[in-house]
Amino acid sequence: MSRTRRPPSPLPQRDGLDAVRVRLPTHGPFTTVRDFLVRRLHRLPPGRVDAMLREGRFVTRDGPVTPDTPFTPNALVWFHRDATDEVRVPFELGVVHRDDDLVVLDKPHFLATTPRGSHARETALARARRELDLPGLSPVHRLDRATAGLLLFVTRPELRRPYQTLFSERRVHKQYEAVAPYDAELALPRTVRSRIVKKRGVFAAQEVPGEPNAETHVALLDHRDGLGRYRLRPRTGRTHQLRVHMNSLGVPILGDTLFPEVVETADDDFRDPLQLLATVLEFDDPRTGTPRRFTTHATLDSWPPTPAS
């Protein structure tokens, strides 16, 4: 059975961002759509909702919502959030590969993958849509804001599902590099297995007793001046997995503000990026069967390439 496609938005993208979509409930103490929006958008003062209604900012497939538009169960409403002043992330996206179907980008440190919370226009998705003029661009997977490196996108939303399935079924070979303290007594290579849980509202994931749900192969590639350059190959994709496992080995990644302890930093502090880089994505293309392998063009600040002799 084919999946039901989400109805297209009647509003165009703005700054690379899709309009927000909300569905009215099947029932409730609402006489008008305005009543529902005031309840649903509780972070906005009712007066701001009223102003947006007067400006025609809320729309359905039939046109703008007015202050008197009656409540209709299960109706869809679209709108764009108010633009906020976001701190510009002073690093650029790198294009590793681009064809009619796929785009592979090098995401810089400090740039979120997709809009969330206070990060909207300053995200890899919104920036790439604007800079590459690809409004249909959709991410296949994510990197957290602190991690740099390879991100895979499809150029059209209808292509997304088969590539996402590759990741969910662990059929993508992912490789990372990290810079962390060097410990001569740490026996490597080794495979680290543990149970990792990320609780809502808690910044950092935690290792807890129980059946392992996270697995990472760790190898030392080189060391100098008290630092090690490590290759990390995750078999699973738990939140903060690589950072948790390196910390559990006693060699937390340089620049980590979550492990071994949470350190608060300002949004405009770009001085000490996490020294973690997604370096390789490798898989068989689910649509053509063609082997695909992409490698990063980026490097880590704490481990610059050695000049050729």
Question: For 209-253, how does the pLDDT look when each residue is reduced to its tens digit (9 = 90+)?
Answer: 999 999 999 999 999 999 999 999 999 999 999 999 999 999 999
Q: What is the pLDDT of residue 117?
A: 78
Pairing outcome for strands 190-197 and 59-60: unpaired
Nearest 5°: the CA angle 246, 247, 249 is 65
Q: What is the pLDDT of residue 308?
A: 53
Q: How many residues can be counted in the chain?
A: 309
Q: What is the pLDDT of residue 1?
A: 38
C-alpha span between 137 and 127 (Å, rounded): 11
The first and second tokens of residue 138, run together, are 């959709």
| For range 293-300, the mean pLDDT | 97
Q: Which residue has the higher pLDDT, 37 or 305?
A: 37
Average pLDDT, whole number, for the chain? 94
Q: Is the separation of the CB atoms in 193 and 217 below 8 Å? A: no
| For range 88-117, the mean pLDDT | 96
Strand-pair partners of 150: 106
Q: What is the pLDDT of residue 281?
A: 98
C-alpha span between 132 and 233 (Å, rounded): 30
Residue type at 112 in one-letter notation = A
Pairing outcome for strands 190-197 and 102-107: unpaired
Q: What is the pLDDT of residue 200?
A: 87
| Predicted model pTM | 0.90
| For range 137-161, the mean pLDDT | 96
